[in-house]
Structure formats: structure tokens, C-alpha cells
Amino acid sequence: MPGAIDQDPFDRSRRIGWLDLGSVFKSRVLMVGAGALGNEVGKCLALSGFRRVTVVDMDRVVGSNLNRCLFFTREDARAGSDKAEVVARGIEGLSPEARARAVVGRLEDLPDRFYEGFDVVLGCLDNIPARVHANSHAYHAGVPYIDGAMEGFLGKVTVCLPPDGACVQCGMNRTHSKVADMRFSCTGEGVVFHEPRLAAEITTTSVVSAVMVRECLKVVSGRTDMALRNTFYYDGQRNVAEEVEVPLDPRCPNHPPRVLQVSENNITSGSVQ
């Protein structure tokens, strides 16, 4: 017969010395985006012990979501259910102790101080403007931001640790800006929303989401010393993963002068390799 320890859902997690389950249970997590990444991240959050999760998304479930989204059903696609509400219910279904809240609406419509109510933000977004928005608001609120992205068999994860760590925008270039500028076009009567259909599949989604939640566990356990300081790249076609350096960009608008001065002093003194 199994003993008492085998009845504890988190017994195996408790055997990881640095993992602070008490902090995991009480941490306030904001997850922006409830599509493919949001489904997998939500699953990993629930099974890892996160109980206070807020899910933000403006979209509804469609049939093309079903082959890579754990929580969505054919009935959700037929009904056009709100993604945020379905994922929030799914998290609570996996974890009876969880209290997941759904916010149905545009990320840009959230109050500026909304991010201050959380301990960590997870970006499960599919476009550059929303990613820049979440990154900047989390950074200015002083909240760690973990960003995931993927296309086909390629994926990446970036961890942003304010006030002195590089952020997502630090790693962007002119091409990213051009794509962001092309996303919206005025028609005179409204706005046309351009969203290219990108290749996606579940195995890459699973890898990227797992890395995101693993880094989240480090952050809330107070082990940012083990967290990613650069960007994790995954290439499922070549079966390789690598870490690419993302230095703090002195032109990035998210960094206050104090941080830039510290960065410049470190470079001058030779403490940054």
C-alpha cells in the first residue's frame, strides 16, 4: 500500500532543494495570452503548484487552435468561447486549490498600474506590439517578465529582471520595428488588423512553455541567480538549444539613467566580459 508521502501531489517537487513551494503556492502570476503557449503554460503552472493566476486574452477559440491547445474543445470552437475563460477553467480543473481569474479584453486596455499587483508576468503572445507593451509595463512596474515566442519548430524564451537586466526590447532590431508598424493600417472608418498566419505545432509549444514555467519557478523561489540572463533559443529541426547574449541596450526606453550608468561603469571597469 502506498504511504502518506505518496498521497502528497507535491512530494517529488519537495525533493528539489531550492524549490520554495510556499512561495509558489502564494505567488500572484499574470499570464498574458491564452492561445497555444497560454494553454501549455497554464497547464505547467497548475501542475507546478501556482494557485493565483490571472489570464488575459481578447480572442475566441476557433477550430485551428485545437491541435495544440490542451484546454480547448470542439464545442469551444463551435461556440466561439473566450480563450481566457476556457484556460482559467482548465487551470482550476487541474488544480483544485487554484483560483484562476479570466480577463477578456485587449492587453492595451488594462490600467497602467495593473501589473503592480503581480509577482511575475508570463508573456504568451503572438505579435510584436503586444510583446513590447507587456514587456515595458512589467519592467516599469518592477515585475519580472518571462517572454515566450515560437514559429514552426523554432522557439525562444527571454527572462527580464528589472531594474538592471536587459529586457525584450533590448534585443529587438529595425526589422521588428517595421513589422510592428505594419500590423495596423487606418482605413478611415476603423482599423484593419493584420495578423499573418504562422506555422505552429505542439512539440515546440511544449518545450517553450516548459522553459518559461521552469524560469518562473526559479524567480518566485528567490533563485534569480539560476535564471536565464540572456535568450534561450530552441531549434527542433536541428535538435539543438543554445543561449544567445542580449546586452542591455543604452537606447532602450525602458531603462532609467541609473541603470544605464551602472552598466557603463561595469563596462569601463572591465567587470563585464
φ and ψ of 85, to 5 deg: -70, -40
Question: Which letter, b or e, does each residue of 20-37 get, where b requires 16 or more Cβ atoms within 10 Å of its Cβ?
Answer: ebeebeebbbbbbbbbbb
Assign residue 264 a region (left: φ > 0; alpha: ψ between -120 and 50; beta: otherwise): alpha
Confidence of residue 155 (pLDDT cuts 50, 70, 90): very high
- The partner residues of 151 in beta bridges, in order of sequence, read 154
Rounded average pLDDT over 217-236:
96
Rounded average pLDDT over 154-177:
83
Q: Is the separation of the CB atoms in 98 and 46 below 8 Å?
A: yes
Position 189 pLDDT exceeds 70: no
Rounded average pLDDT over 6-33:
96
Q: Which amino acid is at 16?
A: I
Domains defined for the chain, CATH in brackets? 10-269 (3.40.50.720)
Give CA 130 to chain center in angstroms: 12
d(CA 110, CA 234): 32
Q: What is the pLDDT of residue 261?
A: 53
Q: Is the separation of the CB atoms in 228 and 157 below 8 Å?
A: yes
In sequence order, what are the residues at sequence separation of 6 or more whose Cβ sits closer than 8 angstroms to the Cβ of residue 118? 28, 29, 30, 54, 143
Q: Which of 61-65, 151-155, 229-233 has the lowest mean pLDDT?
A: 229-233
Nearest to 216 by CA among 104, 53, 12, 34: 53
Q: What is the pLDDT of residue 173?
A: 61
Q: Which amino acid is at 49?
A: G
- Burial classification of residue 3, based on how many CB atoms lie within 10 Å of its CB (0-12 exposed, 13-18 middle, 19 or more buried): exposed
Rounded average pLDDT over 232-248:
94
Q: What is the pLDDT of residue 258?
A: 57
Confidence of residue 179 (pLDDT cuts 50, 70, 90): very low
Comparing 164 with 142, which gets the higher pLDDT? 142
Position 266 pLDDT exceeds 70: no
Q: What is the pLDDT of residue 197?
A: 75
Largest CA distance in the chain: 71
Q: What's the chain's length in residues?
A: 273
Q: What is the pLDDT of residue 102?
A: 98
> Which pTM value belongs to this model?
0.86
d(CA 185, CA 124): 24
Q: pLDDT of 132-145, one tens digit each?
A: 999 999 999 999 99
Confidence of residue 268 (pLDDT cuts 50, 70, 90): very low
Position 146 pLDDT exceeds 60: yes
Q: Which of 27-36, 58-67, 70-79, 254-263 has the lowest mean pLDDT?
A: 254-263
